[in-house]
Structure 1
């Protein structure tokens, strides 16, 4: 491991010559390699899309290793930990944008009016030559508005960005994304997942979240089970374990330090929690991957 801590980045912290108020920027992939130094681990407070034209290397997102190759488009969500390795001769572009920028324009259509449809999107999609030409046309339009900003450029980029994300979502061919519909049940589920993302370190019981949603724990659990085929408690546990794995693989923090970081009272409690879900101790998990 190269870091004692995962580097948390915002668009502002990149200290670029120009961005739209720290909410949107378009870069070349060579710039990305320079900014996100190879073999360092990063967690970003923005969405990242990589469009690879040429070059080779690997992109590790959480504990999954992906090849960087021509025609592959990557999408990195908020708070995912990623690391570039063996990166050479990259050509392509990267689009970095925040939730607030994506939600700048309200369209009235829930598929594109906010970013809830981004939840659990695949980390990459492989585009055919013709599909990539079509996809890149939208990115090129974004680039023109960004490099030569005029009146309403932010709004135009926002709409073009929504179109690009819809193309990515359509490419998944997954009905759960394409047929994203709004109803009260879906709202509760999305609110629950958002609350877990914010509070998983201090709140680990289903009842903690049902109280915030002003519904019963049994009803919340039934909704989650119906939609996700796992319990609400499993959703919370999976988020805690994901963060634990990120810290174990990308930092040299001790297991004790990680347990406190994740809101556990002591190392023993954390160790039992981790082993119950993964069937191995935190130390064994770290050793296995390193």
Structure 2
């Protein structure tokens, strides 16, 4: 199956089968600007930002436009690759429909993935087959039908993510789950200007200590670490993929004292910004 694409004004969604022959295209610049969903059977190896993943079973990966994707090795069985833009479907605008922002995307662990159980595989294969068939029909209702399949995929994956990554107590406490999502969305939106837990306390209408207690109950890293880790991740991306100097990156991330930022980077990574860039490029 070659790439099949829906385009209507500024709205785009495409689907293609994944095999070794498509890896160069997927890794290339054409898909960088899109939101991406990968369904990969066992035997695939990929890199997202600075982490490598090997699929031991069918797995869904959810990748934002600001993340760097490299599909290194394809397995024997072909997978699926969906790409779309926010004009086609924006999870922030339609948060009440799928409630996946902060879980599948913009997650504090930075790599939302969902391992697919045996009983879920038939549903996903059927969904991809129906989506493929819909493109072949090319009816006037194509856009809405394909969007419906996308929403089904996001909803099912969100349910699976919660089962796999949060303990049952948290999933039963809707307030805690919504706090988790809201905090991660706020960090993703403001990490360049808000660097401490206190900076987020006002937006969440709670004391910094209350945020820390909630994180402890959710069995998550300390909130201050979450904020700093997101800042350092962006610094790594800029060091690896741009020619900005460490001083320029410090200013870009909201630090008026580049020396302080370099010390923070050293503390979190064990190497200087220049050392990280040299190591990555070599």
* Counterpart check, 1:176 vs 2:189: no
| Matched residues, number | 268
> Which of 34, 46, 50 does residue 38 from structure 2 map onto?
50
Asked whether the 8 Å contact 1:42–1:81 carries over to 2, the reply is: no
CA distance in 2, matches of 1:285, 1:107: 37
What TM-score, normalized by structure 1, do the two folds share?
0.71
What is aligned with 1:7?
none
> Which of 176, 193, 204 does residue 202 from structure 1 map onto?
193
Alignment of 1:1-290 (within 5 A): 18-20=6-8, 22-28=10-16, 29=18, 33-34=24-25, 36-37=27-28, 44=33, 46-52=34-40, 59-66=46-53, 73-84=60-71, 92-98=79-85, 101=89, 103=91, 112-118=98-104, 119=107, 120=109, 122-123=112-113, 125=115, 132=121, 134-168=123-157, 174=164, 176=166, 180-181=171-172, 183-289=174-280, 290=282
CA drift at 1:201: 0.7
Change (3 A) 1:192 1:124: closer
CA distance in 1, matches of 2:76, 2:242: 28
CA drift at 1:165: 3.5
Moved more, 136-145 or 248-257: 248-257
Change (3 A) 1:115 1:266: closer
Q: Which has the higher contact order (CA 8 A, sep 6+)?
A: 1
CA distance in 1, matches of 2:143, 2:91: 12
CA distance in 1, matches of 2:227, 2:166: 21
Unaligned runs of 5+ in 2: none
What secondary structure is seen at the aligned counterpart in 1 of 2:234?
helix
What TM-score, normalized by structure 2, do the two folds share?
0.73
CA drift at 1:218: 2.1
What secondary structure is seen at the aligned counterpart in 2 of 1:19?
strand
What secondary structure is seen at the aligned counterpart in 2 of 1:256?
helix
CA drift at 1:124: 6.5
What secondary structure is seen at the aligned counterpart in 2 of 1:174?
helix
Asked whether the 8 Å contact 1:62–1:246 carries over to 2, the reply is: yes
CA drift at 1:271: 0.5
Unaligned runs of 5+ in 1: 1-15
CA distance in 2, matches of 1:175, 1:228: 10
Change (3 A) 1:194 1:228: farther
What secondary structure is seen at the aligned counterpart in 2 of 1:136?
helix
Moved more, 62-71 or 223-232: 62-71
CA distance in 1, matches of 2:92, 2:224: 33
What secondary structure is seen at the aligned counterpart in 1 of 2:46?
strand
Change (3 A) 1:258 1:66: same
CA distance in 2, matches of 1:41, 1:252: 21
Asked whether the 8 Å contact 1:105–1:155 carries over to 2, the reply is: no
